[in-house]
Structure 1
Amino acid sequence: MSHITEDYLSGVIRRIAVVCQLSDWSFVQEKFVNMAQNYFGDLIPITLSGTRHGVSVSYNIVLKLAPINEEYRVSGAVTVMFARETYVYSTLMKAYREILQRLPPQSQYVIPKCYYVQQEYCKEVIALQDMTVEGYRPYVHAMFLDLDHTLVSLKSLAKLHSLSFILQNERPQQFEDIMTICGPLTESTNSRYMDIMKDRLDKALKKFPASDITPVLQKLRKNCAKYFKAAVYSVQNTCICHGDIWKENILYKYEGNKPVSACVIDYQTTRKCCPAFDVMYLILSSTNSELRNKYFQQLMEIYYRTFEIALKDAGISSQTVYSRPMFDADMRVVAPACLITANTALWLSNGLQEEGHVRSKHQWTTKEEKEKAVEKYKTIISTMIDDLTNFGYMPLNEF
């Protein structure tokens, strides 16, 4: 996508070697065994070797490189997202690592090491620890997560949210400074993002010209900006949220064939929001209807229990900062915005986004393939709306 040349890549690695204080260094470009979808830039795994103070060292690194061609930067979305993610890794995650040093194993949150960041326009770089070498890998077996993977994901998310509340409690000024950079997502702060959400709702409406859920989609489209604003300003509390946590942005580590740990990645949309938004969005975008209907309460319980324990380990009462009743109430408030976001993600992952700078990675080449993908997408959206209605998060009399 970005036409990364060997000379450009070597220049980037040279700067990383300087930061790592390496001499006589060399690198080998590696390959991922499994590649998750990445829509903003290039991911290049390398092994960087050299000597430091006379000792041989080696680093397994994933380079995240922004598109260097201006044609991919016209909308400004890529620039904003890379700026946000470089800030998260260089500042926020550094603060979280310091907090984690004194928390027990049960509350540890997995954070890849960040070796280097560069924010120069069209030359943005993030050099991260290659977590696949540590045994983490994307879930590529199916479109949706099974129960074990969902539970592990929610536990990791709960720990991420707890770190935000701990940071706010212990370092209020730094927390406020970070919130200034990782501001909320509203129409006034990111009209481009909101336009994308509305566009995908327009596309959804074309696939549902006259059905039971058409009025729901129409109201979501009409009040799109209002629903995203409510997820920040009409909730019980907010924290520093991931903002785009679905299965494409999570890596898993296994013992046998069972996932035992999750590593959340891709922090381009990290922002001030309600914790319930991340939870609801993860469940909607990454599980199927059968799993939701069978285990929804268990998913809620495992998230909140993990969150509660992590805060307790830091000497904070969850009842004070974000009680279970507050969380339950917020799940209802954020449901419409989560559904809108999930619609956008699933339109993309079903191979239906054929134009624009961010397109589906797997597009269909025949009419039959596309028709099948459309029907699959329609079934997914219909069941999401049905489930939210049945759970009481989107009463039909309000739509």
Structure 2
Amino acid sequence: MRESFQSRFGFILAAAGSAVGLGNIWGFPTQVANHGGAAFLIVYLIVVVVLAIPALYSELLIGYAGKANPVTALSKLSQGRARYAGATMGYLNVFGALLMLSFYHIVAGWMLAYAVGFAAQGLGFTGIAQFCFESSVTRDLISTSIFLLLTTVVVYRGVQNGIELWSRRLMPMLFVLLLGLIILMAPLPGASEGFAAYLVPDLSQLGNDDIIVSAMGQAFFSLSIGLGGMMIYGSYLKPGAKLGRLCFSVAAIDTLIAFLAGLLIIPALYVALAQGLDIRSGDGLVSEGQLIFAVLPELFAKLGGLGSWIGCAFFVLLSIASLTSTIATAEVPVAYTLERHQLPRHHATALVGGIIALFALLLVLFFDPLFSLTVTWVTQFQLPLSGLFYFLVVGWLWRRGNQLTEHAQNSRIVSLLRIHIRWVCPLLLGWVFYYVALR
């Protein structure tokens, strides 16, 4: 018997956990800071409603209707000759998930290493702290292995006893940590300027094509659309699920976490500036990598003993955000192995974990030539291409999908949604492809 989520609330937390990742905590605030403050936030919220929620709905609907892994669901719903294209995209989803997990576990391992490093620093274990903070192959192999083990253990326990149970635990922890860090950062010198830069919009930026495209990319990717994670979660929903309400709930939590992350990161940048640290790079702020691994650790060091524990809490926050994303993505190849090759879950999980470990090992050992190439393939090609294909499946290739009558109650909303998914969303994504190609 196929597993399912035990409750609607459990699904919402699991799906929101899949969506809430490193892109929310460090990517969104940096985009806001570099694109007119609250002006980016305004555009982002519009894009979430116009593009990201329909994309999320499409991916969930494919999983909910197909009740299977991406290969089976996409080939089943892509009727006629298009079923071969559907199966191909399904295999790309599985392969893309494995690639994403290989580099994501490395980055998540860095977060875990920094969390341990700041804790060790606070306790006076300077040798351990130095090992955790300094980049090395040994550190990366250890931290990546530990994080991969955490992901594997959760996925091994299944949907209800693993993914849903740990999502119920981790998401409240993430929310509390985020609020606590905002409260700690708010009274520090420079934070008020950061809040103003974040919340007061530069309206002259609203007509900028770059801000619109950046907001589209951020909204699309922050909702974890394009690798089959939401599809597989949708397949675990029980009959009678109200997909529209679930989509809005997941998008609302994801957007709230991103907004709160901005309330933490941007004031922290201005606190760093008040401490004499350089937060500029060219015409904008520092990149995400410099922000997380250079500017903020320097800021925490300047805050004395309290800074070590603030740093520890911050990187624990990032580690939790990473884990809720990795368990969702790992379920994609695990479900494929379970259903297409009839392996028991413990064998499927071990096999997938071994493949991810092998890919991650290659990226660690050959970091310079392979890491950025892998990230570029997944984020700039795989994700938008998959999202575009989901729109085509729901809007054009799946006849019953064009009706959408079985999965929505309001006929007017159904008619508008059908037109929107068939025409508006593919054209918007096509414009993004074209704009990025010209840059």
- Shared fold per TM-score greater than 0.5: no
Task: Give the number of the structure whose residues are more often helix, by fraction.
Answer: 2
TM superposition score normalised by structure 2: 0.26
Tell me the TM-score normalised to structure 1 length. 0.27
Higher relative contact order (CA 8 A, sep 6+): 2
